[in-house]
């Protein structure tokens, strides 16, 4: 494969290059069009690479200001001069036909590379032979520290986007992992991949990698799609860093560019998409196309795109037919990469190869194994494994500061504290970073909800234990220590602490005094001059369960130190118990409410248990953040997410059996709210409308939830109460009788474990 066999030293890094395979040649490809002022910077970054075997091919696309004198002093450079502007796609194809490298780096003239860019990319290529694309972390070139792209996203409505664009780089994308593809502004390709998806012959015979009918825009997304269908993978490597002055040769305000982008999106779909995959995402497509149609009516300069599209469709279908034999992967498998619009799930950390890679020598593998054994021994001797505490902040700077002050007093010293600022009006992450330099503060540009904030924090956490604490809480000094110790003792998948809910800040001091009295005497504290404090303490001692109908059941576990799900306000997870869920620890679409219940279901379906540790205590100023959402929206989230848990996790037979009784409950709840709490009724009604209008989303969610089942359904269903709310009365007796009559497993059954219902 390599034309230059000689020894190559990999140097330090995460992956080892094979020193016996020879030195690969790297070809750099640039296309100039009105970017003469920036061209020198791009070339300088190429010649500054710490990898020395290369060739450079530059295409000048008839740029009026270009002069060959600009290239004086740049060695090993081939210049191609076009008499007219042939477009980005055709010019890159021209340049590729003149390259001989084993790996090819495409670089816009308005972009430039970090000196370690190529060496980092080569390590990834060597680690996995099916990786055809290495996607860098591309930052904006304006010095703002914001991200330009960390890979391509393709939404369910088939519109492409750049992952992370516009976000401040705070390390949130420092985990490498597989992605759909990447921007051709700065990217590395394996030549073997480009050869395999080109049509019209090999590259040096004029084969086309980019579809020249695109001219410019979306041609790189089209290439990503074809590469995925051919069985190649794209890997995002954060050690590869580039900078990009977006639209250095043209801006999106240019009407001609908008016209081409409009046409190219549909050409891309004609080349790669299938009707079956589109039907699976019918609702997002219909919504987007309707909105897009209305918007286009007010942009007459886009109307000709329809005629250009119709003219280009026959050719697109011919090329699609030629691509048929190259397709190694079903289109439905590629469609799994598509994400809902505005889904900002943090990236999943994935190595590019198996644990030991593919190319280490036997001596290197033995050394790695020995180091891992030593590491395990050290971990066994370590009394205080690192615990990562995650706080989510939303316009609650003072609350978060108070929580951080309490965390400074923790008796458990091996702590990593991560604060996620969830799009507060003011950049409170920066303010916290100044006053609390010991923490890691992450700023999200918009509010992703409790679920989104926790997911981002968990994706960055490095601890063996992950601890969630509400930012409006004041943890007791032994809070984290008792959580971690309980997790070690119980071997549970999660441990839920004791959250004492209060309404007013004035109650914090009396509660703290009561906690000290309880811990000193080991007896329940009574006799407070604050009746609300006594009530809050009594409520916090209960070990609640959960109902088949999606409600909390008071003290269902009695004196057993257990609960059905870990409270998101105060809980702890061993990393090994949740490793398969990361980075989406909590369902991203839930935003807030019942997301911790969903996590409880996931852990239960995997055979895990949830322990309760009453000695891990935090005082919680309940609802201090949630109140800002407003009653209708709060009720909407509560009801929608409660129903999503039921529809997502329950076996079909249980859903069918519960349906008549559940419908009566729904009718009663709706009427009750309408006359007693009209604002809540609006949220309730909105949640039901959402459920009716999103059958495809519910189906996808159910498929995802049910695929997690690793134990018989009867095992975890027996942990759910057959009561509605668990407060006695005729309604709860009726619910229990209904479950017994239809044989639905539930906690109140004491005559053995019933057979698991079939899905």
Q: How far apart are CA 594 and CA 567, in angstroms?
A: 9
Q: If we measure between CA atoms, which residue out of 511, 517, 513, 488 comes closest to residue 498?
A: 511
Q: How far apart are CA 226 and CA 305, in angstroms?
A: 23
Q: If we measure between CA atoms, which residue out of 190, 235, 233 comes closest to residue 328?
A: 233
Pair (653, 599) in one structural domain = no
- Count of CB atoms situated within 10 Å of the CB of 327: 17
Reading the block at residue 352, the tokens are 């590019």
| CA diameter of the chain | 92
Q: If we measure between CA atoms, which residue out of 354, 282, 349, 272 comes closest to residue 316?
A: 272
Q: How far apart are CA 124 and CA 237, in angstroms?
A: 8
Residue 44's CATH number: 3.90.550.10
Question: What pLDDT is stored for residue 648 in this prediction?
Answer: 96
Across the range 625-630, mean pLDDT stands at 73
Select the highest-mean-pLDDT range: 104-108, 281-285, 380-384, 752-756. Answer: 104-108
Instruction: Of 4-18, 191-205, 507-521, give the lowest mean pLDDT range.
Output: 4-18
Reading the block at residue 89, the tokens are 């796609």
pLDDT digits (tens, 9 = 90+) for 146-178: 999 999 999 999 999 999 999 999 999 999 999
Question: What pLDDT is stored for residue 249 in this prediction?
Answer: 53
Contact status, residue 577 vs residue 603, Cβ threshold 8 Å? yes
Residue 299 lies in a domain: no
Identify which has the larger pLDDT, 352 or 627.
352
Residue 749 lies in a domain: no
Query: What percent of the chain shows pLDDT beyond 90?
Result: 61
Handedness of CA 222, 227, 231, 234 (dihedral sign): negative
SS3 content of the chain, % helix, strand, coil (to 5): 45, 20, 40
Reading the block at residue 91, the tokens are 């010019």
Classify residue 187 by burial, with Cβ atoms within 10 Å: 0-12, 13-18, 19+.
buried
Residue 511 lies in a domain: yes
Question: What pLDDT is stored for residue 754 in this prediction?
Answer: 37
Q: How far apart are CA 409 and CA 403, in angstroms?
A: 10
Q: If we measure between CA atoms, which residue out of 545, 377, 346 comes closest to residue 448?
A: 346
Question: What pLDDT is stored for residue 15 in this prediction?
Answer: 42
What is the total count of domains within the chain? 3
Q: How far apart are CA 738 and CA 715, in angstroms?
A: 20
Query: What percent of the chain shows pLDDT beyond 70?
Result: 88
Final residue of a structural domain among 596, 627, 658 = 627
Please enumerate in sequence order all residues whose Cβ is within 8 A of that of 184, keeping only pairs 6 or more positions apart, or say none: 88, 92, 106, 108, 219, 220, 223
Instruction: Of 48-52, 53-57, 537-541, 574-578, give the lowest mean pLDDT range.
Output: 537-541
Across the range 223-232, mean pLDDT stands at 94
Reading the block at residue 727, the tokens are 């407060």
Contact status, residue 93 vs residue 80, Cβ threshold 8 Å? no
Reading the block at residue 160, the tokens are 């492409």
Pair (623, 636) in one structural domain = no
Q: If we measure between CA atoms, which residue out of 492, 755, 688 comes closest to residue 600?
A: 492
> Residue 305's pLDDT band (boundaries 50, 70, 90)?
confident
Q: Strand pairing of 465-469 and 387-393?
A: parallel
> Residue 371's pLDDT band (boundaries 50, 70, 90)?
low
Find where tokens 């694309």 sit. Answer: 133
Contact status, residue 190 vs residue 251, Cβ threshold 8 Å? no
Q: Is the peptide bond before 389 cis (omega within 30 degrees of 0)?
A: no
Pair (585, 704) in one structural domain = no
Q: What is the pTM of this model?
A: 0.82
Handedness of CA 496, 498, 500, 505 (dihedral sign): negative
Pair (138, 40) in one structural domain = yes
Please enumerate in sequence order all residues whose Cβ is within 8 A of that of 254, keeping only pairs 6 or more positions apart, or say none: none
Pair (129, 180) in one structural domain = yes
Helix (H, G, I), strand (E, B) or coil at 197: helix
Pair (216, 188) in one structural domain = yes
Question: What pLDDT is stored for residue 338 in this prediction?
Answer: 92
Q: How far apart are CA 642 and CA 213, in angstroms?
A: 49
Q: Strand pairing of 465-469 and 473-475?
A: unpaired
Sheet holding 552-553, edge to edge: 552-553, 545-547, 720-721
Q: How far apart are CA 654 and CA 322, in angstroms?
A: 49
Domain containing 674 equals 631-742
Sequence-ordered alpha helix ranges (H) in 522-630: 531-540, 575-578, 595-605
Question: What pLDDT is stored for residue 526 in this prediction?
Answer: 52
Q: Is the pLDDT of residue 250 over 60?
A: no
Across the range 173-190, mean pLDDT stands at 95
Q: How far apart are CA 708 and CA 240, in angstroms?
A: 34
Name the E strands within 141-273. 147-149, 152-154, 160-162, 177-179, 186-190, 233-244
Contact status, residue 690 vs residue 640, Cβ threshold 8 Å? yes
Contact status, residue 734 vs residue 632, Cβ threshold 8 Å? no
Please provide the average confidence, as pLDDT, over all residues in the chain: 86
Across the range 4-27, mean pLDDT stands at 48
Q: 603 to each of 20, 148, 480, 546, 597, how far by Cα in Å?
A: 46, 36, 21, 14, 10
- Determine phi and psi for 135, rounding to 5 degrees: -100, 125
> Residue 559's pLDDT band (boundaries 50, 70, 90)?
confident
- Determine phi and psi for 314, rounding to 5 degrees: -55, -45
Please enumerate in sequence order all residues whose Cβ is within 8 A of that of 23, keeping only pairs 6 or more positions apart, or say none: 2, 4, 5, 6, 7, 8, 53
Q: Strand pairing of 131-140 and 233-244?
A: parallel
pLDDT digits (tens, 9 = 90+) for 562-594: 999 999 999 999 999 999 999 999 999 999 999
Pair (542, 603) in one structural domain = yes
Q: Per-residue b/e over 657-693, b at no fewer than 16 CB within 10 Å?
A: bbeebbeebeeeeeeebeeeeeebbbbbbbbeebbee
Handedness of CA 298, 301, 302, 308 (dihedral sign): positive
Q: Per-residue b/e over 585-596, b at no fewer than 16 CB within 10 Å?
A: bbbbbbbbbbbb
Q: How far apart are CA 708 and CA 710, in angstroms?
A: 6
Pair (618, 642) in one structural domain = no
Residue 2 lies in a domain: no
Q: Strand pairing of 160-162 and 152-154?
A: antiparallel
Question: What pLDDT is stored for residue 125 in this prediction?
Answer: 93
Contact status, residue 223 vs residue 210, Cβ threshold 8 Å? yes
Pair (608, 726) in one structural domain = no
Q: How far apart are CA 498 and CA 314, in angstroms?
A: 66
> Residue 69's pLDDT band (boundaries 50, 70, 90)?
confident
Contact status, residue 245 vs residue 38, Cβ threshold 8 Å? yes
Q: How far apart are CA 211 and CA 223, in angstroms?
A: 8
Across the range 35-58, mean pLDDT stands at 92
pLDDT digits (tens, 9 = 90+) for 705-754: 999 999 999 899 999 999 998 777 899 999 999 999 998 988 887 534 33
Q: Long-range contacts: 380-384, Cβ < 8 Å, 24+?
A: 384/412, 384/413, 384/414
- The residues that bridge with 59 in the sheet, in sequence order, are 31, 80
pLDDT digits (tens, 9 = 90+) for 669-700: 999 999 999 999 999 999 999 999 999 889 98
CA trace torsion 335, 140, 431, 174 (10° rounding): 50
Identify which has the larger pLDDT, 263 or 517.
263
Identify which has the larger pLDDT, 315 or 371.
315
Residue 497 lies in a domain: yes
Give helix 219-229 / helix 255-272 axis angle, nearest 10°. Answer: 10
DSSP class of 148: E
Final residue of a structural domain among 627, 662, 679 = 627
Q: How far apart are CA 539 and CA 570, in angstroms?
A: 15
Pair (592, 660) in one structural domain = no
Final residue of a structural domain among 627, 655, 679 = 627
Pair (562, 704) in one structural domain = no
Pair (623, 643) in one structural domain = no
């Amino acid at each position: 494969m390599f034309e230059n066999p000689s020894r190559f030293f990999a140097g330090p890094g995460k992956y080892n290059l094979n020193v016996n395979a020879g030195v690969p040649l790297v070809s750099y490809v640039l296309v100039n069009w009105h970017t003469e002022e920036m061209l020198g910077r791009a070339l300088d970054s190429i010649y500054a690479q710490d990898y020395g075997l290369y060739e450079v091919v530059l295409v000048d696309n008839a740029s009026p200001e270009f002069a060959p004198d600009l290239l004086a002093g740049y060695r090993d450079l081939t210049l191609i001069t076009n008499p007219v502007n042939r477009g980005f796609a055709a010019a890159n194809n021209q340049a590729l036909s003149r390259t001989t490298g084993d790996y090819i780096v495409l670089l816009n003239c308005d972009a430039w590379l970090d000196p370690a860019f190529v060496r980092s990319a080569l390590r990834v290529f060597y680690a996995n032979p099916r990786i055809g694309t290495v996607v860098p972390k591309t930052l904006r070139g304006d010095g703002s520290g914001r991200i330009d792209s960390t890979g391509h996203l393709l939404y369910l409505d088939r519109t492409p986007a750049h992952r992370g664009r516009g976000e401040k780089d705070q390390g949130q994308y420092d985990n490498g992992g597989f992605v759909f593809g990447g921007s051709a502004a700065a990217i590395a390709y394996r030549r073997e991949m480009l050869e395999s998806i080109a049509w019209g012959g090999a590259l040096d015979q004029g084969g086309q990698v980019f579809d020249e009918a695109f001219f410019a825009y979306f041609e790189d997304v089209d290439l990503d799609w074809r590469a995925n269908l051919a069985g190649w993978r794209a890997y995002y490597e954060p050690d590869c860093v580039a900078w990009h002055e977006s639209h250095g040769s043209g801006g999106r305000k240019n009407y001609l560019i908008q016209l081409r982008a409009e046409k190219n999106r549909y050409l891309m779909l004609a080349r790669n998409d299938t009707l079956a995959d589109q039907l699976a995402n019918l609702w997002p497509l219909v919504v987007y196309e309707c909105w897009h149609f209305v918007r286009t009516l007010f942009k007459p300069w886009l109307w000709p795109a329809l005629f250009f599209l119709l003219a280009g469709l026959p050719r697109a279908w011919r090329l699609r037919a030629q691509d048929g034999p190259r397709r190694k992967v079903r289109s439905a498998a590629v469609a799994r990469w598509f994400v809902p619009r505005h889904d900002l799930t943090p990236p999943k950390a994935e190595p590019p190869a198996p644990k030991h890679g593919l190319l280490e020598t036997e001596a290197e593998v033995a050394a790695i194994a020995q180091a891992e054994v030593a590491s395990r021994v050290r971990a066994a001797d370590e009394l205080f494994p690192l615990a990562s505490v995650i706080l989510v902040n939303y316009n609650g700077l003072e609350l978060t500061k108070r929580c951080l002050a309490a965390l400074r007093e923790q008796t458990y010293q091996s702590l990593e504290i991560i604060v996620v600022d969830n799009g507060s009006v003011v950049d409170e992450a920066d303010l916290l970073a100044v006053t609390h330099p010991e923490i890691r503060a992450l700023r999200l540009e918009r509010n992703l909800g409790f679920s989104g904030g926790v997911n981002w924090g968990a994706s960055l956490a490095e601890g063996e234990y992950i601890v969630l604490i509400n930012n409006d809480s004041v943890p007791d000094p032994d809070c984290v220590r008792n959580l971690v110790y309980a997790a070690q003792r119980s071997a549970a998948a999660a441990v839920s602490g004791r959250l004492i809910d209060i309404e007013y800040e004035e109650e914090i001091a009396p509660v703290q005094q009561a906690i000290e009295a309880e811990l000193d005497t080991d007896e329940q504290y009574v006799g407070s001059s604050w009746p609300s404090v006594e009530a809050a303490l009594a409520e916090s001692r209960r070990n609640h369960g959960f109902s088949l109908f999606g409600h909390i059941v008071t003290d269902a576990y009695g004196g057993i130190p257990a609960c059905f799900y870990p409270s998101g306000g105060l809980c702890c997870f061993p990393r090994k118990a949740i490793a398969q869920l990361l980075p989406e620890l909590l369902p991203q679409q839930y935003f807030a409410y019942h997301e911790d219940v969903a996590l409880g279901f996931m852990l239960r379906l995997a055979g895990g248990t949830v322990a309760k540790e009453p000695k891990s205590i935090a005082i919680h100023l309940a609802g201090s953040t949630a109140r800002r959402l407003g009653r209708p929206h709060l009720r909407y989230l509560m009801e929608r997410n409660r129903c999503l848990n039921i529809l997502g996790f329950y076996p079909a037979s249980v859903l069918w059996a519960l349906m008549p009784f559940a419908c009566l409950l729904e009718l009663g709840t709706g009427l009750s709210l309408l006359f007693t709490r009209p604002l809540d009724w609006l949220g309730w009604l909105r949640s039901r409308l959402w459920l009716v209008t999103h059958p495809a989303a519910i189906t996808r969610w159910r498929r995802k939830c049910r695929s997690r089942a690793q134990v018989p359904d009867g095992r975890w269903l027996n942990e759910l109460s057959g009561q509605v709310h668990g407060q006695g009365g005729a309604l709860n007796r009726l619910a229990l009788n209904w479950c017994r009559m239809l044989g639905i497993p539930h906690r109140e059954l004491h005559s053995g474990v019933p057979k698991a219902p079939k899905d």
